[in-house]
Amino acid sequence: MTIETVVIDVDGSVKVATAETVKDWQEIVGGYIQFLQARPRSSYGGGVDIILNEEGKLLDLPRNDLAAIVFLNLGGNLRLGDWIAGPVAFTGGVDEAGETVSLSAKMIETIKLMAVELRPLVSPVQCRDN
């Protein structure tokens, strides 16, 4: 199944991408994958998860503060002092069978808009204009 995702890279660029296999996700994040839940699926709307590089910090990948701020604004949690390293893919969470699903068209637009609106809060050295 093809899953539609929004990817926020460490330079602040935002793009819509698709993935079908674990290998596709690994290519997007540059290594082994880890899932973090921002918002669970419910009857009133779709969920949001992020997929990131499980070893991003160990590999000394650059911080991705824009993705972290978007993640937090969508309801995600990070421990105090924690950060996200490397590219991040936002997904529509998981379905009843535990399978990752696409973001809704509305959520894709919401995440893209949030990234634009929140970009000024991130160091200009990290993000470039798109």
pLDDT in tens, 38-95: 877 655 567 899 999 999 999 999 999 999 999 999 988 899 889 999 999 999 998 8
Its pTM stands at 0.89
Strand partners, 37: 49
SS3 26: helix
SS3 124: coil
The token duo for 51 is 């997929």
pLDDT in tens, 89-126: 999 998 889 899 999 999 999 999 999 999 988 865 55
48, 51, 67, 71, 111 from 80: Cα distances, Å: 21, 20, 16, 14, 23
CA distance 65 to 103: 21
Is residue 121 within 8 A of residue 115, CB to CB? The reply is no
pLDDT at 46: 74
Matching residue, tokens 């204009």: 129
Q: What is the dihedral of CA 1, 9, 27, 83, to 10 degrees?
A: -100
